[in-house]
Amino acid sequence: MERVPILKIGETLFVSIQIDLQDESVIRLQEDLADELSVTGAHGVIIDITAVEIVDSFIGRMLTTIGSISRLFDAETVLVGMRPAVAITLTELGLSLSGVRTALNAEKGLEILNGKS
Amino acid sequence: MNIDGTNERMAAFLRDNRDKVAGRWCDLVVAGVRGRTSREEVRRELEDLYGLVVRVLSSADEHATGELTAALEELSRGRARDGFTPSETALGVFSLKEAVYELAADAADLVPEFLLFSRMVDDLGLRTFEAYSVAREHIISDQATSMLELSTPVVRLWEGIIAVPLVGTLDSARTQLVMEKLLDTLVATGADHAVIDITGVPTVDTEVAQHLLKTVSAARLLGAECTISGIRPQVAQTIVSLGIEFGDIATKATLADALALALRQAGLKVVPS
């Protein structure tokens, strides 16, 4: 199983998903991220999904879950770089990812987090 | 269908009376199309067909049938493109029968020949009809495609603000295209605000509203905010009476209002110079 690395930059955790997401890797990412948030006390999470081409309802739901978990650590989650096809798929699945903020790219995602703090 | 050389006799008859029959045929067709094609043009088309019909009847070579079918199909396609009605197109073939009948009526010994010939012309007429409708369907599908391409421009209003002016009835296929194009443009230009202007959309029913909502939530997933503008009074009444909720999506009366909102959200201010 491939793992997704979590990078800490200042007060922000940066996760760039560059693999084809499997259910286990997403669950693992969720666990790793929870650990990392409690250890570092970061206030923002940026998840970059530019390279993700396929999502299903499970992964869509896990993204929302990650957002909810982060909020428990007082951290805001910003999902960046979603592809149009992925957005259409998620909408067709009826997932609006409530509780997760979105931005077009990592730069705008950082602006959102910095504007907040 | 050839019994005891009846077709050959018919072919001989047609060959002998070529000028008379072809001339009459030409007259009938020209009268049928009511001056939309010149006599010379009709004459040229029919001369070719006439020659082919004679060749098919005299069973001289096996390619004649294929050539005749191809020529007829070509003619029907041309007629379909030029906006002739189906009956005008089919009449072009059927009037050959009439032209021959007028001449053959005097010759009583040509009855079996004429019956066989008439059946052949009927077949050709049906072939014409088929080719005509195929050509028409082609034209319709081509037009539908070009309309789909025409009808979905995405324009840039400002740095980071794009607009999609929608004109015409929205159906699933079109909305899908609009959605894809809008999202692609958002990603390509890095714009974070989109205005969907529905001034040109005559009716909004639950389905169209559903499509709009989907487009907006997909754009939100990308991190862009959408405003819907140009809702007409009747459309507003329909939306309310249908009980459609746009939720927290901003709606504005005009494109100008929507642009003003987008500028404000982008932290820009328009001041008189």
What ipTM was predicted for this assembly?
Answer: 0.77
Q: What is the mean pLDDT of chain B?
A: 84
The architecture of the domain spanning B6-147 is: Orthogonal Bundle (1.10)
Tell me the per-residue pLDDT of B85-121, one tens digit each, with 9 for 90 and over: 888 888 888 888 888 888 777 766 777 778 888 888 8
What's the pLDDT score for residue B4? Answer: 60
Q: Are strands B155-158 and A101-103 parallel, antiparallel or unpaired?
A: unpaired
Q: Does B162 touch chain A (CB under 8 A)?
A: no
Does B245 have pLDDT greater than 50? Answer: yes
Q: Which of B179, B186, B218 sits opposite A104 (nearest CB)?
A: B186
**Mean pLDDT for the stretch of residues A12-18:** 92
Q: Which of A79, A87, A97 sits opposite B183 (nearest CB)?
A: A87
Return the percentage of chain B with pLDDT > 70, whole number. 96
CATH 1.10.490 domain residues, chain B: 6-147
Q: Report how far residue A59's alpha carbon sits from residue A90's, in angstroms, rounded to the nearest whole number.
A: 10
Which domains does chain A carry? 6-116 (3.30.750.24)
Read off the pLDDT band of A16 (50, 70, 90). Answer: very high
Q: Tell me if chain B has a CB within 8 Å of the CB of A107.
A: no
Is residue B203 within 8 A of residue B238, CB to CB? The reply is: yes
Place of tokens 């907006």: B216
Give the best residue of B221, B226, B249 to mutate against chain A (max A CB count within 10 A): B221
pLDDT band at B60 (very low <50, low <70, confident <90, very high): low
Q: Which of B185, B211, B213, B222 to mutate to test the interface with A (most CBs of A within 10 A)?
A: B222
pTM: 0.65
User: Strand order in A76-80's β-sheet?
Assistant: A6-9, A12-16, A44-48, A76-80, A101-103
Asked if CATH classification 3.30.750.24 holds for the domain at B155-265, the reply, yes or no, is yes
What integer pLDDT is reported at residue A19 of this predicted model?
85
Q: What does residue A73 show for φ and ψ, rounded to 5 degrees?
A: -95, 15
CB contact under 8 A, A82 and B179: no
